[in-house]
Amino acid sequence: MASQASLEKMQLRQNYRNVWHTDLMSTIKADFPYCCLALWCGPCVSYMLRKRALYNDMSRYVCCAGYLPCSGKCGESKCPELCLCTEVFCCFGNSVASTRFLLQDEFNIQTTQCDNCIIGFMFCLQQVACIFSCIAMIVGSEEIQDAAQILNCLADFVYCTVCACMQTQHKVEMDKRDGKFGPQPVMAVPQVQQMSRIDQPTPPVVGYMPQPSYSQPSPHGFAYPPSQGYPAGYPPTAYPQPGYSANPK
């Protein structure tokens, strides 16, 4: 049930109307020093970004931001700092993805097609490397083993690069949120119940429904709203009206 709700939430993110301040292809240009820091100290950066995404209020912390079945069952309320450290070091990929989903759901940010292609390529390359490794173990061919090692190295390189760019993207987005790009209004801290990622309401639809024409006649014989006020005797001043009987004969 929870996995189905998570899948529906992921599909809903495609309909979000806002976009990232910078896409994955432009993160190196947007903040090159931070991208290098995220590349060499990924878990530390993931810790800082998650804490900042929670507005430095660790009482809001839930393991993997509430996206996995184990979330809320790891004793986070007793020692959130230790739980977050464990998450970023033992489940680094999940920690980066959870922070991303956290920001997307809070600010209704969609994932662009370019970002989807980059993330999809990273996953596909990892799967191909895994398949080649399994084949090399079964067949025992040195050529396939060499190819599997090359693919594994390439997959690891792409994975580390994409995660670093993704973390830089999150940092730039929170810089925008906190008004570090100029005199922008600082967004208020969301309520605690809004930190649940699965049960958030659907974002409102942009635009308005067409309104009915006021020039159409009504069943009472006058236009609505009347241009000169209501006609005489309408509405009645009191109930029941004079002459009304509850038990007509």
How crowded is the C-beta side of 100, counted as CA atoms within 13 Å?
A: 24
pLDDT band at 64 (very low <50, low <70, confident <90, very high): confident
Predicted local distance difference test score (pLDDT) of residue 74: 78
Question: Do residues 105 and 98 touch, judged by C-beta distance below 8 A?
Answer: no
pTM over 0.85: no
Helices (H), the chain: 2-12, 27-30, 32-40, 42-53, 80-90, 92-107, 113-139, 142-177
Both tokens of 77, joined, read: 């309320």
23 within 8 A of 116, measured Cβ to Cβ:
no
Q: Give the model confidence (pLDDT) of 203-231 as tens digits.
A: 444 443 344 444 444 444 444 444 454 45
Q: What is the CA radius of gyration of the chain?
A: 28
Residue 80 has pLDDT above 70, yes or no: yes
pLDDT digits (tens, 9 = 90+) for 98-117: 999 999 988 999 888 888 89
Contacts 24+ apart (CB under 8 A), 174-181: 174/49, 174/52, 174/53, 174/103, 175/21, 176/21, 177/107
pLDDT tens sequence across 4-62: 666 677 677 777 888 899 989 999 999 999 999 999 999 999 999 999 999 999 999 99
User: pLDDT at residue 249 above 80?
Assistant: no
Name the residue type at position 80: P
3-class DSSP state of 223? strand
* CA-closest candidate to residue 9, choices 91, 116, 104, 113: 104
For residue 102, give the 3-state DSSP assignment: helix
- Mean pLDDT, residues 125-144: 88
Query: Tens digits of per-residue pLDDT, 152-180?
Result: 999 999 999 999 999 999 999 999 998 88
- Report residue 194's pLDDT band, with 50, 70 and 90 as the boundaries: very low
Q: Is the dihedral of CA 38, 43, 45, 49 positive or negative?
A: positive
Q: How many CB atoms lie within 10 A of CB 130?
A: 14
pLDDT for residue 240: 53
- Report the Cα 109 to chain-centroid distance in Å: 6
Domain boundaries, the chain: 2-190
Question: Average pLDDT for residues 83-100, to the nearest whole number?
Answer: 93
DSSP string, 113-155: HHHHHHHHHHHHHHHHHHHHHHHHHHH--HHHHHHHHHHHHHH
